[in-house]
Amino acid sequence: MSEASTTTNHNEIRKWVEDRSGHPAVVRTGKEGGILRIDFGEPDESLEPVEWDEFFEIFEDNNLAFLHQDKANNGQLSRFNKFVEREH
């Protein structure tokens, strides 16, 4: 079973996303910012592309960490990711 890692390092997050041809995005909720997502190009009308600066501003404002998996069980690059609350 492949393990997941957690990071708050912006450079690590950006590299992980870009290595998988992903892009930063948000789902606007009516509140300031929105819900962060990674857009891998699958059709999803609720995703709004954002620049990395806005993405990381929302990330920091909400005290988030990035949970991600580097490799799937079959050894391929994994796209599993989730935004979680930082541990104190």
Comparison of pLDDT for 10 and 87, the residue scoring more: 10
The number of distinct structural domains making up the chain is 1
Mean pLDDT of the chain: 92
| pLDDT of 87 | 83
DSSP string for residues in 10-58: HHHHHHHHHHTT-EEEEE--SSSS-EEEEE-S---TT-EE--HHHHHHH
Query: What pLDDT, in 10s, does the model give residues 28-39?
Result: 987 778 899 999
Q: Tell me which residue range forms the domain holding 75.
A: 4-85
Query: What pLDDT, in 10s, does the model give residues 50-73?
Result: 999 999 999 999 999 999 999 998
Give dist(CA 13, CA 29) in Å, integer.
23
* H/E stretch holding 60: helix 52-61
Comparison of pLDDT for 38 and 87, the residue scoring more: 38
